[in-house]
Amino acid sequence: MEETVVLEEEALSLVGNGDARGKHRILAELARVEQEVTFLEQELEELDQADIVSTVCEELLFVIEKRPDPLLPLTNEPLDLGWDRWFEGPNGGEGCRCLIL
Amino acid sequence: MSVSELKERHAVATETVNNLRDRLRQRRLQLLDTDVARYSSAQGRTPVSFGATDLVCCRTLQGHTGKVYSLDWTPERNRIVSASQDGRLIVWNALTSQKTHAIKLPCAWVMTCAFSPNGQSVACGGLDSVCSIFSLSSTADKDGTVPVSRMLSGHRGYVSCCQYVPNEDAHLITSSGDQTCILWDVTTGLKTSVFGGEFQSGHTADVLSVSISGSNPNWFISGSCDSTARLWDTRAASRAVRTFHGHEGDVNTVKFFPDGYRFGTGSDDGTCRLYDIRTGHQLQVYQPHGDGENTPVTSIAFSVSGRLLFAGYASNNTCYVWDTLLGEVVLDLGLVQDSHKNRISCLGLSADGSALCTGSWDSNLKIWAFGGHRRVI
């Protein structure tokens, strides 16, 4: 869904009646839109320097594969014995089941 | 300047904004030479392969009498707070399945809960538009009522999500149906900063979710009904650092990637997406095949390495486990033995990543862990 900048109906109707509040509102909205222009121009400039996606993917692959993960069947060291604590001692069948009334 | 001149200037500026957005979109498409799945496959990676009994349900936490809407783990590993339609917060020791607290809330319409970093307080919020803080050392009466230790008032709409800033018991961020996020000072109960809102460059619809970066707590992501996710810097609240487009429906859930430089989203459009913070690129779309109709994503979480993306959906008890590198579903927890009997509404990983907790409309929480044979690279 594309964002579009729309002048508020209320502001338009107030302006039609020459209401000072409506003009103030338009001024504030105009300032916001003109600021948005500045920000978008900055973003376009930054994008010219941005890496292509494949460069980011290379980094992502490295980050993911270097970290030990207890939920993976195949993972890096170091392993932590604490990962298996869920299978030691009582399991869910013996836990507290009281209902809160 | 006259009103008509102002209107003309506004129209010109509006057209400039729309043209710039088009140019940004086109430029991004030019930089989109691949996605994560195609890249990883080209590098010879193959999908994670789970045996039938590898990821198992090892605890079922029973006690709520209504749908579970939200859950959060403590940083010190084993405790969970959950919030339910029954109007209660329950604090669990997930290892023993024992309930340590059952707090009856002043407003039963709760939508979110969070543990403080020191594990001594819990926060919650919902349709009362307030974020309430409870100290776990307070004594409850026989009804379970605990005095509220702090009320964070100021939102003009429901509180959809709350999260404490990592390692800062005094600061918390909320998201709201009033289209804003707020950074609070919990000790004073006052707003430190408001992100978005009238005349500020922020979300243009309800904000549904926030996620704070673990590696840089000044950054957080918000997801909204305006179909965007936005990156904010808490030191500069006047506008979002970046807006991430792509989704075609409400962004229900956002979660930072473990390294803090990427984040995931889940949406009503049925997809999850992975975005890069620094470039703003959309790196991958995770879209289930078949079914025809796109089932909304309710909640997501990454495994501690980021290799797995857990996603709960708004149908049956579906909880897909995505291989984030290959873009494939490698498991559906809804088909595993002892799975939930209804929609999964929330999920989260323990601090050490050894367990996933899921919360469901069936009123239960379940703990999942790897019970198979673990091989070391």
- Best mutation site among B45, B54, B281 for testing chain A: the one with the most A CBs within 10 Å? B281
Name the DSSP class of B358: E
pLDDT in tens, B61-73: 999 999 999 999 9
Radius of gyration of chain A from its Cα atoms, rounded to whole angstroms: 29
Predicted pLDDT of residue B228: 96
The amino acid that residue B118 corresponds to is N
pLDDT in tens, B308-321: 999 999 988 999 99
Rounded to whole angstroms, the Cα distance separating B287 from B329 reads 9
pLDDT in tens, B277-294: 999 999 999 999 876 568
Q: Which chain A positions have a beta carbon within 8 Å of B63's beta carbon?
A: 96-100
In the structure, what pLDDT confidence band is assigned to residue B199 with cuts at 50, 70 and 90?
low
pLDDT in tens, B145-176: 788 999 999 999 999 999 999 999 999 999 99
Of all residues in chain B, the one with the smallest CA distance to A29 is: B199
pLDDT in tens, B346-369: 999 999 999 999 999 999 999 999
A74 closest CB neighbour out of B65, B227, B375: B375
In the structure, what pLDDT confidence band is assigned to residue B143 with cuts at 50, 70 and 90?
confident
pTM for this model (two decimals)? 0.90
Predicted pLDDT of residue B68: 97
In the structure, what pLDDT confidence band is assigned to residue B212 with cuts at 50, 70 and 90?
very high
Name the DSSP class of B296: P
Of all residues in chain A, the one with the smallest CA distance to B240 is: A39
Q: Taking each helix axis as running N to C, give the angle between helix A20-48 and helix B3-31, from 0 to 180 degrees, rounded to the nearest 10.
A: 20
Of all residues in chain A, the one with the smallest CA distance to B350 is: A83
Predicted pLDDT of residue A9: 46
Q: Phi and psi at residue B192, in whole multiples of 5°?
A: -90, -45
Q: Which residues have C-beta within 8 Å of that of residue B118, sequence separation ≥ 6?
A: B169
ipTM value of the model?
A: 0.90
Arithmetic mean of pLDDT, B213-220: 94
Q: Do B34 and A77 touch (CB under 8 A)?
A: no
Arithmetic mean of pLDDT, B181-207: 91
- How many pairs of residues across A and B have Cβ atoms under 8 Å apart? 257
CA angle B271, B275, B281 (to 5 degrees): 115
Above 90 in pLDDT, residue B260? yes
Q: Give yes or no for a contact between A50 and B242, defined as CB atoms under 8 angstroms apart.
A: no
Q: Give yes or no for a contact between B179 and B204, defined as CB atoms under 8 angstroms apart.
A: yes
Task: Provide the shortest C-alpha distance from residue A46 to chain B (in Å).
Answer: 8
A1 closest CB neighbour out of B248, B306, B325: B248
Of all residues in chain A, the one with the smallest CA distance to B338 is: A92
Above 60 in pLDDT, residue B103? yes
Predicted pLDDT of residue B41: 96
A40 closest CB neighbour out of B17, B50, B304: B17
Arithmetic mean of pLDDT, B106-112: 93
Q: Which chain B positions have a beta carbon within 8 Å of A100's beta carbon?
A: 63-65, 86, 88, 90, 99, 102, 144
Q: Which chain A positions have a beta carbon within 8 Å of B24's beta carbon?
A: 40, 43-44, 47
Q: Which chain A positions have a beta carbon within 8 Å of B279's beta carbon?
A: 47, 50-51, 53, 56
Give me the percent of chain B exceeding a pLDDT of 70. 99
Q: Do A57 and B304 touch (CB under 8 A)?
A: no
Q: Give yes or no for a contact between B152 and B174, defined as CB atoms under 8 angstroms apart.
A: yes
SS3 content of chain B, % helix, strand, coil (to 5): 10, 45, 45
Above 80 in pLDDT, residue A94? no
Predicted pLDDT of residue B292: 56
Rounded to whole angstroms, the Cα distance separating B173 from B192 reads 10
In the structure, what pLDDT confidence band is assigned to residue B128 with cuts at 50, 70 and 90?
very high
Q: Do A63 and B51 touch (CB under 8 A)?
A: no
In the structure, what pLDDT confidence band is assigned to residue B203 with cuts at 50, 70 and 90?
very high
DSSP letter string, chain A: --------HHHHHHHHTT-HHHHHHHHHHHHHHHHHHHHHHHHHHHHHTPPPHHHHHHHHHHHHHHS--TTSSEEPSPP-GGGGGGGSS--GGGS--PPP-
Q: Do B65 and A100 touch (CB under 8 A)?
A: yes
In the structure, what pLDDT confidence band is assigned to residue A11 with cuts at 50, 70 and 90?
very low
Higher pLDDT, A38 or A98: A38
Above 50 in pLDDT, residue B115? yes
Task: Provide the shortest C-alpha distance from residue A85 to chain B (in Å).
Answer: 8
Rounded to whole angstroms, the Cα distance separating B151 from B125 reads 10
